[in-house]
Structure 1
Amino acid sequence: MAIFKNRVAIVTGAGQGIGLEICRQLAREGASVILNDVQEGLAVEAAESIQHSAGICIPFAGDASDVSFIDSMVEEAIKQFGRLDIAIANAGITLFGEFLNYTPEDLNAVLHVNLGGSFFLAQAAARKMKEQQSGGRILFMSSVTGHQAHKNLAAYGMSKAALEMLAKTLVVELSEYKITINALAPGATLTERTVHDATYESTWSRITPIGKAATTNDIAQAALFLVSPQAGHITGQSLIIDGGWTSVSPSPY
């Protein structure tokens, strides 16, 4: 039996990479999925690929850090499918830069998308889940850089560590509504973005104890577990998926 049958999910930043694979696997397991990406063409193409091979998936393009757009995305889930059960805040941006030269504009952009977008998606989803009185699952996408220092990623790592604290804090406010809230912290992962770096896979395979970088399937499988019925007693937790890198933390540089 499909474990997400009759469940409705929103996944942001899902036009490619980890988000796309999460959407594909949710749909394959019976969920009806709202797939968001800021690029309309990417969202449409991604959703169509899932419709052809996996299941029900509707594109909803727009800025996942904009509160009014977030509200409209939740309402679209209700309009299309009548409910919302799962919200995965996958959208995020990475702006590298040396700390001594980092600009206010870059810091604000990172915080606005990575923190603000995740915070307000969780808020909008939780309000609807509370109203439905049937519980729900919320998942933040953190990073190993929220656990270990990484050169030129002070702002990004700070935002990801904050998401894990947000997941822990919201346990106090959301548990009475049977809403679980967790965070997933991927390490080096092979995606459409990282494949453009010719040395990425070989470098991370060398410095990762398990001997290889993660695939999007590795991350998606963990995400599906945390939003599944099997994880109903897990909340406020952060799960690192990094092949052991944070245990030793050698720099890729």
Structure 2
Amino acid sequence: MSGALDGKVAIVTGAGQGLGLAYARALARAGAAVVVNDANADSAYTAAASIVSGGGRAVAVAAAVGPTATADLLVRAAVDTFGRLDILVTNAGVLRDTVLWKMTDEQFDAVIDTHLRGTFTTARAAAQHMRAAGEGGRIIVIGSPAGQHGNFGQTNYAAAKAGIVAMARTWSLELARAGITVNAVVPTALTAMTATIPAYAEVAAAFERGEPIPPSIRRDHALGSPDDVAPLVVWLASDASAAVTGQAIGIGGDALTLYTHPDVGTVLFHDGGWDVDSIAGAWSTSLAAQSQTSGIVLPAVEAPAARS
């Protein structure tokens, strides 16, 4: 979609490396000027410089998302440097994984403040500017399979990512009259974070060495490179997706996934209301067979010998 975003201006948070950097570079290749944000100053400035050296337009803003002051700073940087703001991608995040009974307040708050509050404050600042400008806009928030299914050891992260998708669905209603679309991207890719998962450690190491990603990993596990995810972000940022809002769309490797809205699965009625015994009977005779599992379920990773 080269040229699809000519004249547009985007903010990408957490864009110093990994998926965020892939989004920023792809948006720039499509013609957008990009405000590259990262909490790590070296990463932010290096990422912005790489876009400029490639012929794009970018400026770096080093600041941790979460505080309102950071959100306002990012919007000002877009408007003061490039004259407008059309696109926001809220990618910044941190991990503090541990099981519930060991998770500290600090571990919980760090993840919620960055992911959930950071998405809220930056989206609010962007929406305020976009509504005042009266030219519409695109807000793209980043979810996770953990937020859709739950994941062991990720109370904070799963809660934040589920909340982000819920906010996106809400904002899609609130901002529709202003011509601002809001969608959630649920990415899966081989990144530094994926490399910490024991099942993917060998695949991630091979990818880092420049080896191709096995077809079974790309298809069955929906894992490719960060660059495999970026086209969805560019498309959602473009005029081609103007009718798409309030959606949670997964992408990774060879897979493109539309997540369903949470919905009522089964409704049963009992004249006069339900008591303990009737609930127990309904569960055993009807509802138990339709109950849902928790957690991310993936095929086993093939052993190296099986792939050779």
Separation in 2 of the partners of 1:34 and 1:140?
16
Distance change in 2, residues 1:33/1:209 (3 Å): closer
- Between the aligned partners of 2:87 and 2:142, the Cα distance in structure 1 is 14
In the other structure, the counterpart of 1:51 is 52
Aligned partners of 2:169 and 2:246 also within 8 Å: yes
1:218 aligns with 2:228: yes
**Largest Rg, 1 or 2:** 2
Q: Distance in 2 between matches of 1:245 and 1:28?
A: 22
User: Which residue of 1 is the match for residue 131 of structure 2?
Assistant: 130
Q: What is the CA-CA distance between 1:32 and the residue it aligns to?
A: 0.6
Aligned to 2:93: 92
TM-score, length of structure 2 as denominator length: 0.75
Pair 1:158-2:206 in alignment = no
The separation in 1 between residues aligned to 2:298 and 2:29, in whole angstroms, is 37
Asked whether the equivalents of residues 26 and 230 of structure 2 are also in contact (C-alpha less than 8 Å), the reply is yes
Task: Quote how far apart the aligned CAs of 1:250 are.
Answer: 2.8
Q: 2:278 corresponds to which residue?
A: none
Distance in 1 between the 2:222 and 2:171 partners? 34
d(CA) in 2 for partners of 1:119 and 1:160? 12
Whether the aligned pair in 1 keeps the contact of 2:229 and 2:252 (CA below 8 Å) is no
Q: How many residues are matched?
A: 252
Q: Structure 1 217/194 Cα, relative in aligned 2: closer, same or farther at 3 Å? A: same
Q: Which residue of 2 aligns with 1:240?
A: 250
1:111 pairs with 2:159:
no
Whether the aligned pair in 2 keeps the contact of 1:138 and 1:179 (CA below 8 Å) is yes
Note if contact 1:201-1:212 (Cα within 8 Å) is conserved in structure 2.
no
Cα deviation for residue 162 of structure 1 reads: 0.8
In 1, Cα distance between the equivalents of 2:176 and 2:160? 24
Distance 1:158 1:251 in 2: 24
Which secondary structure does the structure 2 equivalent of 1:97 belong to?
Answer: coil
Alpha carbons of structure 1 residues 29 and 209: separation in structure 2 relative to 1, 3 Å = closer
CA gap 1:86/1:97 in 2 versus in 1, 3 angstroms: same
Q: Which runs of 5+ in 1 are unaligned?
A: none
Please state how far the C-alpha of 1:113 moved relative to its aligned partner: 0.7
What corresponds to 2:191 in structure 1?
Answer: 191
Render the CA deviation track for 1:126-180: whole Å, top value 9, x for unaligned: 1110111000000111001111232111220111011111000112211110000
**Residue in 2 that maps onto 1:249:** 297
96 and 208 in structure 1: CA distance in 2 versus 1, 3 angstrom threshold: farther
> Cα RMSD over matched residues?
2.5
Identity %, equivalent residues: 34
Q: Give the letter aligned to residue 99 of structure 2.
A: E
Query: 2:5 corresponds to which residue?
Result: 4
Partner residue, 1:228: 238
Contact 1:207 1:245 in 2 (8 A): no
Alpha-carbon distance change, 201 to 169 in structure 1, aligned in 2, over 3 angstroms: farther
Assess, with a 3 A threshold, how the Cα gap between structure 1 residues 211 and 98 changes in structure 2: closer, same or farther.
closer
SS in 2 for 1:139: strand
In structure 2, what is the Cα distance between the partners aligned to 1:202 and 1:214? 10
